[in-house]
Structure 1
Amino acid sequence: MYPSGSRRNHTNGDPKSLSFESFLEAWLVRQKRYLEELLSAQHSSCEVRQDDHLELIHRVLYHYQQYYEEKSRVANWDVFLVFSPPWLTNLERALLWIAGFRPNLLFRLVSSSVNDMTEDQSRRMDRLVAETRMEEKALNDELAKIQERVGAPPLANAIRRYGRTAQDGETADGSGDDSALGGLRKALEKVVANADMLRATTGEKVALVLTPPQMVKVLAAVAQLQLKVRGLGLQRDAEKGQNGGN
């Protein structure tokens, strides 16, 4: 079985993949520590000052910002990697939406972890949900247009050549791309950047609606879900490996 959080030997020696995998393992260790802090603050909320809650929230949000910054560097080097990232488990990859989590998932966690919102908070949250769904749809439409372009013969041929290069172990750094594949890269880089921006801003906007103790609950729920999915994915991949991939 893999060590906790580890996906070693699944990056085919790709330097950028290996670099991000190392970053992610360290990031997940910090994520577990933050979860412990969040749960501690949540369970002793009456004794914790609001300033302490805010300080913890800011540190956790910055923790996520570091993830997006590092992921952006990989996407700019080879955007295809973030659409099927070898550092994630099969289960995690199955849940991806434009190379990350769907922003509306955050609202489900708000609903399940916060039961004391005021009427004003509920109205503001409903507006935010509607706005986020519209932005998600716009990104879905943008991605659909890109996928339609992939079927064009020149682009399909370019992608096949890219695939053969990757299989041969050559570095696919985007240099020497023909115009079709280069255009696809730029379009995908843009949609991933916009999706990551939506993920980040959704979290920030939710934090503006909720009180600090409420946001602590939500951030704890987010970390618990992520680590649970990660752990289950590692377990399933290990079991599949032991069974010969069947």
Structure 2
Amino acid sequence: MADASPRTDTSTDGDTDEKNLRFEQGQLGIAASDSSDRSKDKTDQKTLRRLAQNREAARKSRLRKKAYVQQLESSRLKLTQLEQELQRARQQGIFISSSGDQAHSTSGNGALAFDIEYARWQEDQNRQINELRAAVNAHASDSDLRVIVDGIIAHYDEIFRLKGIAAKADVFHMLSGMWKTPAERCFLWLGGFRSSELLKLLANQLEPLTEQQLAGICNLQQTSLQAEDALSQGMEQLQQSLAETLAGSLGPSGSSGNVANYMGQMAMAMGKLGTLENFLRQADNLRQQTLQQMHRTLTTRQSARALLAIHDYFSRLRALSSLWLARPRE
């Protein structure tokens, strides 16, 4: 009995240790299971958030795409409407505003219509000049050159006609030359080029000239210069007269005087402004006649070289404007 008691105690202790071990393993298993569940829950939550973010991004993308398509459609409709309005302006002399609620005479939008027409005219001129240059380089016959040269001279007649129409709508726009590049405006005279200066530039490009041709060009240059001086003096007198008329409507303190005097002076000023269109028309007539007379004085090949030189000169002025605008600034 004395020997059996220790064995019994040992067995009891062993059973207890085994139970404790199983309990600890069970606790560890439960803890591991809880940790795995929590990790799985976190993963599921991240996935749900990511899916929600993707759905929101897709929704915003669809909205942006829809807005972009609507903007394109609106721009297309506005462009179509503008083209229709310009077509009506050319056919009827009336320009309908984009809102469609009122009609304007060409004085309101004549400048825009002319700018568009001038851009088209310039494209046609570039095409004609390229054709002329190719014919000259290919040593085309005089008859072939004459057809092209006559077409270019007629094309210049067209721009003078368009300027006359635009001047009735907005003479200030035409005189200021806002439809030209900055470098071209620097040399502008009454809405265009000086015929005398152009002839001076061409003198070295047209050699050799016969004595009769040289005399004709010199006489043309002299008469052009005289006409330009006369028109310039007329413009100066008009400006001075306008300044005096406007100053006469001011009161002693510098403000406008009585209403009747003010309205009378402004009416006089408006009447004098009506002569601006006449000055522009005379200047364009001088330019047109200079080109035609030059064409009659020169041979067909000389006229072709002159037209190429004129085009290249104005092309360089436009290129100079582009270089100036693109210059680096500090």
TM-score (norm 1): 0.77
Please report the RMSD computed on the Cα atoms of aligned residues, expressed in angstroms: 2.4
> Do structure 1's residue 208 and structure 2's residue 296 form an aligned pair?
yes
> Do structure 1's residue 143 and structure 2's residue 235 form an aligned pair?
yes
Q: Provide the C-alpha distance between the structure 1 equivalents of 2:325 and 2:249, rounded to a whole number of angstroms.
A: 32
> Do structure 1's residue 38 and structure 2's residue 132 form an aligned pair?
yes
Counterpart among 88, 94, 97 of residue 180 in structure 2: 88
How big is each residue's C-alpha offset from its partner over 1:145-196, in whole Å with a ceiling of 9 and x where there is no partner?
A: 11111211437879xxxxxxxxxxxxxxxxxx94233223221111110000
> Do structure 1's residue 107 and structure 2's residue 199 form an aligned pair?
yes
> Do structure 1's residue 59 and structure 2's residue 120 form an aligned pair?
no
Matched residue, 1:120: 212
How big is each residue's C-alpha offset from its partner over 1:190-220, in whole Å with a ceiling of 9 and x where there is no partner?
A: 1110000000000111111100000000000
SS at the partner of 1:220? helix
What is the identity, as a one-letter code, of the residue corresponding to 1:191?
F
Alignment of 1:1-246 (within 5 A): 15-45=109-139, 48-154=140-246, 178-239=266-327
Preserved contact between residue 89 and residue 233 of structure 1 (Cα < 8 Å): yes
Preserved contact between residue 155 and residue 181 of structure 1 (Cα < 8 Å): no
Q: Which runs of 5+ in 2 are unaligned?
A: 1-97, 99-107, 251-264
The 1:153/1:184 distance shift into structure 2, 3 A limit, reads closer
Matched residue, 1:166: none
Pair member with larger Rg: 2
How big is each residue's C-alpha offset from its partner over 1:199-244, in whole Å with a ceiling of 9 and x where there is no partner?
A: 00001111111000000000001111112212322342355xx96x
Q: Provide the C-alpha distance between the structure 2 equivalents of 1:68 and 1:235, rounded to a whole number of angstroms.
A: 29
The 1:67/1:156 distance shift into structure 2, 3 A limit, reads farther
SS at the partner of 2:120? helix
Q: Provide the C-alpha distance between the structure 2 equivalents of 1:203 and 1:78, rounded to a whole number of angstroms.
A: 25
TM-score (norm 2): 0.59
Q: Provide the C-alpha distance between the structure 2 equivalents of 1:186 and 1:87, rounded to a whole number of angstroms.
A: 21
Q: Provide the C-alpha distance between the structure 2 equivalents of 1:156 and 1:237, rounded to a whole number of angstroms.
A: 42
What is the identity, as a one-letter code, of the residue corresponding to 1:19?
A
Preserved contact between residue 20 and residue 74 of structure 1 (Cα < 8 Å): yes
Q: Provide the C-alpha distance between the structure 2 equivalents of 1:155 and 1:69, rounded to a whole number of angstroms.
A: 36
Question: Which structure dedicates a bigger proportion of its chain to helix?
Answer: 2
Q: Which runs of 5+ in 1 are unaligned?
A: 1-12, 159-176
Work out the percentage of aligned pairs sharing the same amino acid: 25
How big is each residue's C-alpha offset from its partner over 1:40-71, in whole Å with a ceiling of 9 and x where there is no partner?
A: 222233xx222222211111011111111111
Higher relative contact order by CA 8 Å / sep ≥ 6: 1 or 2? 1
The 1:151/1:123 distance shift into structure 2, 3 A limit, reads same
